[in-house]
Amino acid sequence: MAGGTSALREILPLWSAAPFAGMLLCVAALPLAAPRFWHNHFAKVAAFWALLALIPMLALFGKAAYYEFMRTILKSYIPFIILLGSIYFISGGILITGTPKATPAINTAMLLAGTALASVMGTIGAAMLIVRPLVRANKHRKHGALAMIFFIFLAANVGGAVTPLGDPPLFLGFLAGVPFFWTLKVLPQMAFATAALLLVFFLLDWRNHKNELPVSGGPVTRDTLPIRIKGAYNLIFILGIMGAVLLSGSLNIGSVNVIGIPVTGEALLRDGLILVMLALSAFFTPVSIRDENEFTWYPLKEVAVLFAAIFITMAPCLDILSAGPKGHLGFIMAGLNGPRHYFWAVGILSSLLDNAPAYLAFLHSALGVFYPGQSGASAVSMLIRGHPAYLKAISAGSVFFGAFTYIGNAPNFLVRSISEEAGIDMPGFFGYLFKYSLPVLVPLYLIITFVFF
C-alpha cells in the first residue's frame, strides 16, 4: 500500500506488519528446515500470508485498503514481473557454450564481466547472461557455491549502482526526477566495493582451489572448451527493453483506468513494448538454444509467487514507514540524522524488503525532512542541490544491501534457483546470511560508511 493516503498511513497499527514478518520467517526457515515441504507447497504458504494481510485490512479499511492493494499489484508488482520475466526469458535465448577452467583468475574475470554488464543491461540481464557459464564451470567443484555467492554480491547487486538502468531503485529515482547521469556520482562507492569484493573472492577461491585435489593429485582444473555465443541477437531485444524503460520516463501521455486504478499511458506503453521484445525473442530464437541452456520456468515461477506475497504483505509496512514522524515508526525516522544513518536504514530495509520500494520510502522520508509539503521533481532537484550526500547514501544503500539476503533483490533468487537446479549446493537463508553476508558485507559497508558518508 505504498503511496497510500496520508490519513491511512498515519493510523496503520504495527500489527499490520505481522504477515510480512511471517512471510519473511517462512522464506528464511522452511527451505532449510523442511526443503521438500517448501518445494511442493511454497505457493500455498505465500497465499496464506498474503490472505492474512489482505482480509483484516479490507475488513477494517474497506475501499481505501482495496485501492492501495490494487495500486501495489497494478503499478508495482505486474510491471516488476513483466520486466523480470522478459529479461529472464530473453537471456535464456543467449547460449554461451564452452566450459572455462574454474580457476580463481577465470572465475574472478567472469565476476568482473557480470559486474560491468550490470549497469548497462541491468542486474537481471547481466546475471542471467553470465550465470549459466559460471555454473557450468563451477558445478563440479566442492566449493562451487562460493563463486555463485559472490556473483550475487557483484553482478546481481553492486554492479547496478551507477545508472538508472542498472537496478530498479535507481530507475524509480529517475522517474521521480533524478537526472539520468546523476547516479554516476555513486561510481566511487561502486568501484571501491567491487574491487574489495573481487579481492576477497580471489583469495578465498585461490585457497579452495589449491586444496581441492582429484584422485591423481594436484589442484582441480577442467579442460577449456572453446567459448561460442549462440543467439547473440537477443542482446538487441534486451537493449529494446532498456530503451522502453528509458522512454517511459521521458513521456507523459495521460492515464487510463484499469479496474478503477489510474495507470499511466507511458507505463502501459513500456510494458507493451517489453512484451513485444519477449515475443520477438520467442519467434526468432530456436527452441534448441533454450534447451541447450537448460532453460526452465521454475526459477521465475518461484520468484513470481513469493514476490506476489511479499509485495502484498509489505504494503502496510511501507505505508507506516512513509508516514514518517506521524506514523507508528516515527521514533525511528526521527533518529535518522545524517547520510550514514540513511545508508544503513535504507540498506537494512532493502535486505528484508525488495530494495526498490525501500529506496522510495527513504527518498520520500528525506524530502519530508528537508522540504516538508513539497514533492515531485522540484523537491528532488532541491535535495540534489542542497543535500546530495543523502541521495548518494540512499542510492548506494538500496543497491548494495540488496545483496545482503536472498530476498533483497530479485536476481538473487534466480541465481540461487539456477545454481541449485544445476547441482550446486547453495546455502539456505541463514547460511547465506551468517556464513557470507555478515562476515564479508558488514565490514565492507562499515568501511564505505567511514570513507564516503
pLDDT for res 364: 76
CA distances for 375 relative to 92, 364, 381, angstroms: 40, 8, 10
pLDDT for res 216: 40
The sign of the torsion formed by the CA atoms of 217, 218, 221, 224 equals: negative
Where are the chain's structural domains?
Answer: 22-452
The three cell numbers of residue 392 are 548518494
pLDDT for res 322: 62
CB 135 within 8 A of CB 424: yes
H/E stretch holding 126: helix 104-138
Q: What is the pTM of this model?
A: 0.75
Task: Please state the three-class secondary structure of 139-184 as a single string.
Answer: CCCCCCHHHHHHHHHHCCCHHHCCCCCCCHHHHHHHHHCCCHHHHH
For the chain, the distance separating the N- and C-terminal CA atoms, rounded to the nearest angstrom, is 31
The three cell numbers of residue 262 are 489510474
CB 19 within 8 A of CB 313: yes
Q: How many CA atoms lie within 13 A of 332 on its CB side?
A: 16
Question: Widest CA span of the chain, in angstroms?
Answer: 72
pLDDT for res 7: 56
d(CA 341, CA 351): 15
The phi, psi pair for 286, rounded to 5°, reads -60, 145
pLDDT along the chain (453 residues), means of 10: 53 79 80 81 93 88 80 81 84 77 86 88 80 83 87 93 82 76 91 96 89 51 66 89 81 78 85 94 92 79 85 78 62 76 89 75 76 68 89 93 84 84 83 91 95 91
- What Rg do the C-alpha atoms of the chain give, in angstroms? 22
